[in-house]
Amino acid sequence: MAKSPASAEDRAFRETFRSWAGGVRRRLGLERLLTGAAIGLVLGAGAAGAAWQTRHGALRPWMAAAGLVGAAAGAFVARRRRWDDAEVALYLDGRLDGKEAIVTAVELDRQDERDDPARAVVISQATEVLKKASRKDARPRFVRAWHVAIPLGIAAIGYMTLLPLPPAPKAAAPPPGKEQVKIAEIRGLEKIIDLANTNARDDAQRKRLDKLAEDAKKLRDKLKDGMEKREAQAELGRLKDAITAEKLSLGDGEERQGLESALGKLATNPDLKDAAKALGDRDLVSFDEQMEALANKLEKEDRDRAKQTLEEAAEAARKAKAPDVAKALEEQKKRLDEKGKKNERLKELGEALGDGLSDDAKEALKDFESGKGSAKEQQKLAEKLEDALGKLTPEQRKKLAENMKKQASKMTGEEPQGEGPSKEQLKELAEQLATPEGQKQLEEELKKMAEDPPAGGEGSEEGERQKKLDEAEGGAGEAEGQMGTPMPVPTPGPGGKPGQGGQKGQGDKPGKGDKPGSGKGEKGGGKDEGQPFAGHSEGGGPGDHKGQTGVVDGPGMKARASGPIGKGKPMPGIVLGRTTGRAGETANMQGTGALGQAAPGEVGAIERSDVPEEYREQVGRYFQPK
Amino acid sequence: MTATPLGFGTGMTTSNEFQKRLERAREASQRLVKAIGQVIVGQDEVVEQALWGLVAGGHVLLEGAPGLGKTLLVRTISSCLHLQFSRIQFTPDLMPSDVTGTNILVSGADGSRHFALHKGPIFGQVILADEINRATPKTQSSLLEAMQEHACTIAGIRHAMEEPFFVLATENPIEMEGTYPLPEAQLDRFLLKVIVPSPTEDEMTEILARTTGQPMETPERVLDREEVLALRSACRDVSVAEPIMRFASRLVRASDPLTQGAPDLVKRAIRYGAGVRGAQSLVLAAKARSLLEGRANVSFADVQKVAKPVLRHRLIRSFEGEADGVTTDQVVDALVESVPARSENVEQAIRR
């Protein structure tokens, strides 16, 4: 049906209704827009709070944009859910009490049913209703209670924007030792590198020392570039272990039996007791000092006995296939001999000079003869004698030489030893003093003796090597100190450490101590308990004696309560299980087998264990790898 | 186009013409109410609802206790209308032919005999079916065809009723012994079921004053046949918007307990709800109401107002509903309350 032209009433109604509907729709759209903005600002305030919490300060003011986004979303929703004419008409009827005249009129107008008899009346009535009504009566309220969130949201975002950011949360602590350490110059390592210049006992040791030096060099270079602290500590720990192992290498392994045999022999001579102890401790520097003191102190007869003992000990060591030990002992014997001769000569000269000596020189001679006989007294005496010799006039010198000759001629040659110089010695001295050249030579000799011995020039070869190793070990300690405090080692649970009971014998069960060294472990129930040389066995069976220490030619090994072990070492650490925990390495390192065998990584473990210091050396020797 | 004494006619399209029809309809209804008011005291709602039935062209069932003036109301209405009035007093021994009429053998002037139809009281224009529930269902059903189709078939011959045809039935809710409650099919034919309430004190006093003196004059006839037909025509021309028809549909559908979203009371107390005829009646009655108020369109309020008399006799209570004493009026109230006229967002916007 063709649409008939709209009447004036129709047009009037349409215009009026469109005007009213526009107002209603605008306000409804505004309400949705504000609702969207309110939701957006609430979310934005929450997001600003989150940004504040997570310290994303720059993002906070941008959260206000959430309000705009919300408003846009509200406008979009308003557009999508825009009321149609019927809904607006129903709303207007409801608000203006139109008795549904408006909605009916809208429908009739839309249908364009011109022949509907009521159409004109309904449209007329609807127009009347709209015209009579005030706009205020049909304004949907666009401000809702929740729109208060808009100013609140803006205020909250503003507040969050102005609020100072919270302090940054503490970053999770990196694992211990994870931090980088970078040291341009690490002096301690130079001492280890210097091991490359140290004399080696044999080719194997040469290689080992070179490798130590090489490793130290590498570590130095790595530290220059920077590396993980724990890795550096682990490397340094390995170097220290290797140095310690090297220090203890004399008489170890295959030669151990020989060392014990030699110690047994040395122990038979009371004069060599201290020297034997030093050798047993592998403290070859101290061994050198003891031997030097003996050389100064002992009379010829005792010295000969000592030499005899040293020879026997060297022989025993050689027999027990410990050539290195034997070599060291023979060297000591040689040094003892030379030193003794030198001392005799000094004493002879002193006594020969007799009254020609000053009071100081006499005092020095007296001290030297009294048996203190240290290197210092020897130097002092040599110095005084040189002075006295230099002050002699040619007449006095001649007279002294003649006196000495006379005295020598009077001697029968059968005078007891230890009571002044022998006939030959006196003759020799007299001849030397007779000529100015001889005197000069003698002065030179004394001068040399008075001077400080050059560093490393006086000790035995082994002693000098050990000195170097000691220095290298000290250097490693210095390097550790330069890197900072050592890493903490996790404390094990109760019963995790061997107690004291386990040290005494060969108890199998660990102690129950909670603290290092304080545990009173249950004694092991093994049958070898209390027998220091017994092999390890478990379960009471016949067992395998592989690895058992051989028979020692001597009174047996005894604990040395005063053993100076761990000189300059750090405090003992905590031992986990059977080995130490160390930075960068697993703590779960186990020994490789029976007693007497140990993994290389366990070298030095005793030093860090809670074994009492006086027992460490002995316990350590049992666990040295063969 | 047919002209009527009141100027009503079908096919009038101009605003002024329909406006005039509306005004005349309102004026006519006012006259009728006024005339009825001369006899009937109070009972304004009953009178109004009876007029809805008259204007909408439906039949009305009046239910009330004896002595409340039901019959008087119907007689008054009929006397105010210039229409043919019939009264049928329903009794248990009343036969269908007593209602519809029958063919009887008659003698002609020439002595010949032939069958001639003797029309029953159903052949009137305003029918008073008094105490309709006292007749047997067989007799009650004799009204069915006439009420629905405005025609009556006697001896195979269909006889159309003269328009307007309007049945006003009464029934007594008490003295149920010896009564035959109307079957649902027949109840459905009534557009409205009007409950006649007891008069108030003032009304009772007025009734006493009017009825205990000299008999009053019969009210004058205020509406003739054409005017009634014009009213009915105007009623049909009243506009109903789609949202209002949808509301009526929702209301009727919600009376079905099987419908999703039906009120709890419906689900509990109703066995069968109203059908399509109920929805039609709802809209027609609403149109009649709006017409009598001088409006050319139906409002939600019209539908809500007519819901009770239209639906109350179309709802069949369940056993539980009967046992709980839930009346159909309560159910209709629940329906009107729970079924929203407008969509939720529009309702919210109106409220704020």
**Could you report the predicted ipTM of this complex, rounded to two decimals?**
0.81
Q: Cα(A342)–Cα(A368) distance, rounded to whole angstroms?
A: 13
Q: Which residues of A touch B343 (CB under 8 A)?
A: 87, 90
Q: How far off is chain B from A12, nearest CA to CA, in Å? A: 15
Residue in B242, B290, B350 nearest the CB of A95: B350
* B343 in A contact zone (CB under 8 Å): yes
Q: How far off is chain B from A34, nearest CA to CA, in Å? A: 16
Q: Cα(A274)–Cα(A292) distance, rounded to whole angstroms?
A: 12
A548 Cβ partners below 8 Å, 6+ apart?
Answer: A533, A534, A535, A596
* B242 in A contact zone (CB under 8 Å): yes
Distance of CA A624 to the CA centre of its chain: 23
Q: How confident is the model at residue A504 (pLDDT cuts 50, 70, 90)?
A: very low
Distances (CA, A) of B95 to B135, B160, B183: 8, 21, 17
pTM of the model: 0.55
Cβ contact B15–A117 (<8 Å): no
Return residue ranges of chain B for CATH 3.40.50.300: 8-91+124-236
Q: Cα(B108)–Cα(A290) distance, rounded to whole angstroms?
A: 180
Residue in A9, A104, A106 nearest the CB of B15: A9
A588 vs A402: which has the higher pLDDT: A402
CB pairs under 8 A between A and B: 96
Name the β-bridge partners of B102. Answer: B118
Cβ contact A100–B242 (<8 Å): no
DSSP state at residue A506: -
A454 vs A360: which has the higher pLDDT: A360
pLDDT at A516: 39
Cβ contact B13–A86 (<8 Å): no
pLDDT at A602: 60
Return residue ranges of chain B for CATH 1.10.8.80: 238-352
Q: How far off is chain A from B56, nearest CA to CA, in Å? A: 16
A195 neighbors A476 (Cβ within 8 angstroms): no
A444 Cβ partners below 8 Å, 6+ apart?
Answer: none
Q: Cα(A535)–Cα(A595) distance, rounded to whole angstroms?
A: 6
Of the candidates B21, B349, B165, which has an alpha carbon nearest to the alpha carbon of residue A23? B349
Cβ contact B239–A94 (<8 Å): no
Overall fold of domain B238-352: Helicase, Ruva Protein; domain 3 (1.10.8)
pLDDT at B249: 93
Q: Cα(B140)–Cα(B190) distance, rounded to whole angstroms?
A: 13
Q: Cα(A579)–Cα(B74) distance, rounded to whole angstroms?
A: 119
Element (H, E) at B62: strand B59-63
pLDDT at A451: 66
Cβ contact A121–B18 (<8 Å): yes
Question: Range with the lowest mean pLDDT among A3-7, A59-63, A522-526?
Answer: A522-526
- Beta strands per DSSP E along A143-245: 180-181, 227-228
Q: Cα(B6)–Cα(B25) distance, rounded to whole angstroms?
A: 9
Query: In B, residues 151-180, which contact A (CB 8 Å cutoff)?
Result: none
Q: Cα(A622)–Cα(A596) distance, rounded to whole angstroms?
A: 5
Residues of A with CB under 8 A from a CB of B: 9, 28, 83, 86-87, 90-91, 93-95, 99-101, 103-108, 114-122, 124-125, 140-141, 144
Q: What is the largest CA-CA distance in chain B?
A: 85
Query: In B, residues 291-320, which contact A (CB 8 Å cutoff)?
Result: 295-301
Q: Cα(B209)–Cα(B206) distance, rounded to whole angstroms?
A: 5
A405 neighbors A430 (Cβ within 8 angstroms): yes
Residue in B241, B290, B345 nearest the CB of A107: B241
Residue A176 burial by Cβ neighbours in a 10 Å radius (0-12, 13-18, 19+): middle
Distances (CA, A) of B249 to A90, A140, A261, A444, B276: 17, 29, 121, 141, 9
B22 neighbors B294 (Cβ within 8 angstroms): yes
Mean pLDDT computed over every residue of chain A: 73
| Residue of chain B nearest A84, judged by CA positions | B346
- Has residue A99 got a pLDDT over 80? yes
Cβ contact B240–A116 (<8 Å): no
Interface residue of B346, B347, B348, B352 to substitute, partner A, most A CBs within 10 Å? B346
pLDDT at A518: 38
Q: Cα(B30)–Cα(B292) distance, rounded to whole angstroms?
A: 8
Q: Is the peptide bond before B164 cis (omega within 30 degrees of 0)?
A: yes
Q: Cα(B93)–Cα(B100) distance, rounded to whole angstroms?
A: 15
Q: How far off is chain A from B338, nearest CA to CA, in Å? A: 18
* B344 in A contact zone (CB under 8 Å): no
Q: Which residues of A touch B347 (CB under 8 A)?
A: 94
Cβ contact B296–A107 (<8 Å): no
Residue in A94, A107, A118 nearest the CB of B18: A118
pLDDT at B289: 92
Q: Which residues of B touch A118 (CB under 8 A)?
A: 18, 237-239, 296-297
pLDDT at A460: 76
Q: Cα(A401)–Cα(A395) distance, rounded to whole angstroms?
A: 10
Backbone φ, ψ for residue A209 (5° rounding): -65, -40
Cβ contact A117–B240 (<8 Å): no
* Token pair of A186 as six digits: 């690490």
Interface residue of B12, B239, B293, B304 to substitute, partner A, most A CBs within 10 Å? B239
pLDDT at B7: 41
Q: Cα(B89)–Cα(B99) distance, rounded to whole angstroms?
A: 10
Q: What is the largest CA-CA distance in chain A?
A: 179
Q: Cα(A401)–Cα(A430) distance, rounded to whole angstroms?
A: 4
Of the candidates A179, A180, A234, A216, which has an alpha carbon nearest to the alpha carbon of residue A489? A234
Cβ contact A141–B352 (<8 Å): yes
Q: How confident is the model at residue A2 (pLDDT cuts 50, 70, 90)?
A: very low
Residue in A103, A108, A114 nearest the CB of B243: A103
Residue with tokens 């406006």: B19
Q: How far off is chain B from A91, nearest CA to CA, in Å? A: 6
Q: Which residues of A touch B241 (CB under 8 A)?
A: 86, 100, 103-104, 106-107
* Token pair of A506 as six digits: 């060969």
Cβ contact A120–B14 (<8 Å): yes
pLDDT at A251: 67
Q: How confident is the model at residue A511 (pLDDT cuts 50, 70, 90)?
A: very low
Cβ contact B297–A118 (<8 Å): yes
pLDDT tens digits, one per residue of B250-260: 999 999 988 88
pLDDT tens digits, one per residue of A178-233: 778 888 888 888 888 888 888 887 888 888 889 989 998 988 888 888 888 888 88
Identify residue A271 by its one-letter amino acid code.
D
Q: Which residues of A touch B21 (CB under 8 A)?
A: 117
- Has residue A36 got a pLDDT over 70? yes
| Residue of chain B nearest A31, judged by CA positions | B349
B5 neighbors B224 (Cβ within 8 angstroms): yes
The CATH architecture assigned to B8-91+124-236 reads 3-Layer(aba) Sandwich (3.40)
Rounded average pLDDT over A611-623: 78
Is the dihedral angle over the CA atoms A75, A77, A79, A81 positive or is it negative?
negative
| Residue of chain A nearest B343, judged by CA positions | A87
Residue in A93, A94, A120 nearest the CB of B18: A120
- For chain B, 352 residues long, give each residue's pLDDT as a single digit of tens: 333 444 444 444 456 778 888 888 888 888 888 888 878 888 888 888 888 998 898 899 988 888 888 888 888 888 888 888 888 898 888 888 888 888 888 888 888 888 888 888 888 888 888 888 888 888 888 888 788 888 888 888 888 888 889 898 888 887 777 788 888 888 888 999 998 888 888 888 888 888 787 777 777 888 888 888 888 888 888 989 989 999 999 999 999 988 888 888 888 889 888 889 899 999 999 999 998 888 888 999 999 999 999 998 988 888 988 888 888 889 999 999 989 888 888 888 888 7
Number of H helices, E strands in chain B: 16, 13
Interface residue of A7, A30, A104 to substitute, partner B, most B CBs within 10 Å? A104
Cβ contact A117–B343 (<8 Å): no
| Residue of chain B nearest A108, judged by CA positions | B241
Q: How far off is chain A from B178, nearest CA to CA, in Å? A: 47
As a whole-number percent, the residues of chain A with pLDDT over 90 amount to 3
Q: Cα(A463)–Cα(A426) distance, rounded to whole angstroms?
A: 35
Q: Which residues of A touch B296 (CB under 8 A)?
A: 101, 118, 121-122, 125
Q: Cα(A238)–Cα(A566) distance, rounded to whole angstroms?
A: 16
Residue-level length of chain B: 352
Interface residue of A90, A112, A116, A137 to substitute, partner B, most B CBs within 10 Å? A90
Q: Which residues of A touch B290 (CB under 8 A)?
A: 99
The structural domains of chain A, with segments of one domain joined by +, span 8-162, 253-450, 489-527+550-626
Identify residue A44 by its one-letter amino acid code.
G
Cβ contact B243–A118 (<8 Å): no
Of the candidates A232, A306, A242, A300, which has an alpha carbon nearest to the alpha carbon of residue A270? A306
pLDDT tens digits, one per residue of B195-208: 888 888 888 888 88
A472 vs A406: which has the higher pLDDT: A472
pLDDT tens digits, one per residue of A279-323: 877 777 888 877 777 777 666 777 778 888 888 888 888 887 788
Q: Cα(A554)–Cα(A262) distance, rounded to whole angstroms?
A: 8
* B2 in A contact zone (CB under 8 Å): no
